[in-house]
């Protein structure tokens, strides 16, 4: 197990920058998720750890030792690609034993180790099977077993659940987390699915266009996004982001069709900034039964999506569209034909972003 550190790590493919000046440290035994849209550099970052790509600039270190020039096969990392990338011509046993065959362990020792890992993963009875005889979940366990059999410095998981159907994905997600806890292995997990990232990670690193956007615990990313990209990317349905102007004399936020009073606490931080982007999470909004029009937003229901336990209501308010998340039983009582009032539940949980720099002005 290793501490993995990136220092100013940069990777260019020709003129295209895949990773630009990444500085990041991953602790021993930590479950780190690299999150971002496709093309954000997360997979490249992982391949740099494995040694499948060479950094243009900067360094990758394991336990403080720079490994830039250590060849792939000497790094002792494990990589699990998309679910079930097992070798089709080998039995499950040989698939798991594969990394041990590489270093030519004696036969008996290999058998003991493979059986030990298989027991921990509860796949002992599958050892004689062929990969095509496994279910998706079993194949996943075997692939993890192969990754863990030789106690790697780092376990790399490259979108392991990308090609799995939704139901199985939820199950496997939990499994992967469980297994990681058993083996306590430093893990880097790459995904573009923020729900997956939130549920599985100790810490998340959000990347976009090759640059680190924010790193932190899932909760921090959710409640204190450091910029507009993170605010928009993390959370589903996404945060409502509304352009507005701050009128300092009246202390009001002007959204065009409506205004809201600015909470006292943040007035100081926003003074002198005219154009803002106001962010509020859908669950921080609710339908007000009776509004005075001063602290609420007037709007018309555009569409209601009942998701069973909860309902997402999309409301037209002037040129803005606002999403509200609310309980389904509450939503069923709403008369969709009439105008409604939207109230903010907790004014201290709203966000303000600079329109130019996209930075969060409250949490910096």
Partner 1 sequence: MSDIGKKKNLLALVVSPTPTVLKYVVLLAILLYVFLPLAWLLLTAVDTNPGAYLKLPDGLTFGYIWGIITSKPIKSGSGQATHPIYMTNWIVNSLVLASVSMVVVVICASLASYGLSRLQMRGKGVLMTILLLAGFMPATAKILPLFRLCRQLGILNNLPGIGVVVASGSMGMMIWIMKGFFDNIPRDLEEQAWVYGYSRIRALFKVVLPAAGPGLAVIAFLSFMRAWGAFTLPLVLIRKESLFPISIGISSVLFADPGELGLSVDYGSIAALCILYAVPSVVIFYFFRKHLMSIRLTKIEVR
Contacts with partner 1, residue ranges (CB under 8 A) = 50-52, 72-79, 81-82, 84-89, 98-99, 102-103, 131-132, 134, 139, 146, 150, 156
Choose between 139 and 212: whose C-beta lies nearer to partner 1: 139
Min CB(100)–partner 1 separation in Å: 9
Q: How far apart are the first and last CA of the chain?
A: 33
Instruction: CB nearer to partner 1: give 59 or 76.
Output: 76
Q: Which is nearer to partner 1, 98 or 363 (CB)?
A: 98
Is the CB of 103 or the CB of 257 nearer to partner 1? Answer: 103
Cβ partners under 8 Å of residue 15, min gap 6: none
Q: Cβ 86 to partner 1, closest distance in Å?
A: 6
DSSP state, residue 364: -
CB of 187 to partner 1, least distance (A): 15
Between 61 and 85, name the residue whose CB sits nearer to partner 1. 85
CA angle 51, 53, 58 (to 5 degrees): 85
User: Any residues with CB less than 8 A from the CB of 168 and at least 6 apart, and which?
Assistant: 136, 137
Q: Is 352 exposed, middle or buried (0-12, 13-18, 19+ CB in 10 A)?
A: buried
CB under 8 Å to 38, separation ≥6 — which residues? 192
Collapsing DSSP to helix, strand or coil, 154 comes out as: strand
Cβ-based nearer residue to partner 1, 87 or 236: 87
Cα–Cα nearest to 296, from 341, 332, 356: 341
CA distance 186 to 4: 8
Nearer to partner 1, 82 or 254 (CB): 82
Residue 183: how many CB atoms within 10 A of its CB? 19
Min CB(172)–partner 1 separation in Å: 15
227: DSSP letter: B
What minimum distance in Å lies between the beta carbon of 50 and partner 1? 5
- Output the smallest distance, CB 115 to partner 1, in A: 19
What's the CA gap between 232 and 39, in Å, rounded? 17
CB-count exposure of residue 12 (10 Å: 0-12, 13-18, 19+): middle
Structure tokens at 106: 């004696």
Q: Rounded to an integer, what distance in angstroms lies between the CA atom of residue 340 and that of residue 321? A: 13
Give CA–CA dist 350/329, Å, rounded. 26
Q: Rounded to the nearest whole angstrom, what is the least distance from the CB of residue 104 to partner 1 in the complex?
A: 10
* Rounded least distance, CB 82 to partner 1, Å: 7
Q: Which is nearer to partner 1, 12 or 302 (CB)?
A: 12
């Amino acid at each position: 197990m290793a501490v993995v550190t990136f220092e100013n790590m940069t990777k260019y493919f020709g003129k295209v920058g895949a990773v630009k000046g990444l500085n990041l440290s991953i602790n021993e035994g930590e479950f780190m998720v690299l999150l971002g849209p496709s093309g954000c550099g997360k997979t490249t970052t992982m391949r740099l750890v494995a040694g499948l790509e060479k950094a243009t600039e900067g360094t990758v270190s394991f336990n403080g030792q720079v490994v830039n020039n250590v060849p792939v096969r000497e790094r002792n990392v494990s990589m699990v690609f998309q679910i079930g990338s097992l070798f089709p011509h080998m039995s499950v046993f040989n698939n798991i034993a594969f990394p041990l065959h590489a270093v030519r362990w004696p036969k008996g020792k290999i058998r003991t180790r493979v059986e030990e890992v298989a027991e921990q993963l509860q796949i002992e009875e599958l050892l004689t099977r062929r990969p095509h005889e496994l279910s998706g979940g079993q194949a996943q366990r075997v692939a993890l077993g192969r990754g863990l059999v030789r106690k790697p410095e780092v376990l790399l998981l490259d979108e392991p659940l990308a090609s799995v159907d939704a139901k199985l994905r939820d199950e496997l997600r939990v499994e992967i987390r469980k297994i990681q806890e058993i083996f306590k292995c430093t893990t880097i997990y790459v995904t573009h699915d923020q729900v997956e990232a939130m549920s599985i990670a100790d810490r998340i690193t959000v990347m976009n266009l090759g640059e680190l956007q924010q790193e932190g615990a899932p909760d921090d990313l959710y409640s204190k996004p450091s910029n507009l990209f993170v605010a928009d990317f993390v959370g589903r349905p996404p945060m409502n982001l509304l352009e507005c102007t701050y009128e300092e004399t009246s202390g009001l936020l002007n959204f065009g069709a409506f205004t809201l009073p600015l909470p006292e606490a943040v007035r100081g931080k926003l003074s002198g900034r005219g154009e803002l982007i106001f962010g509020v999470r859908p669950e921080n909004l609710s339908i007000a039964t009776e509004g005075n029009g001063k602290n609420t937003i007037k709007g018309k229901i555009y569409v209601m999506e009942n998701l069973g336990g909860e309902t997402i209501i999309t409301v037209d308010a002037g040129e803005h569209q606002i999403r509200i998340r609310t309980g389904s039983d509450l939503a069923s009582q709403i008369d969709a034909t009439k105008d409604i009032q939207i109230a903010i539940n907790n004014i201290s949980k709203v966000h303000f972003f600079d329109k130019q720099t996209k930075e969060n002005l409250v949490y910096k």
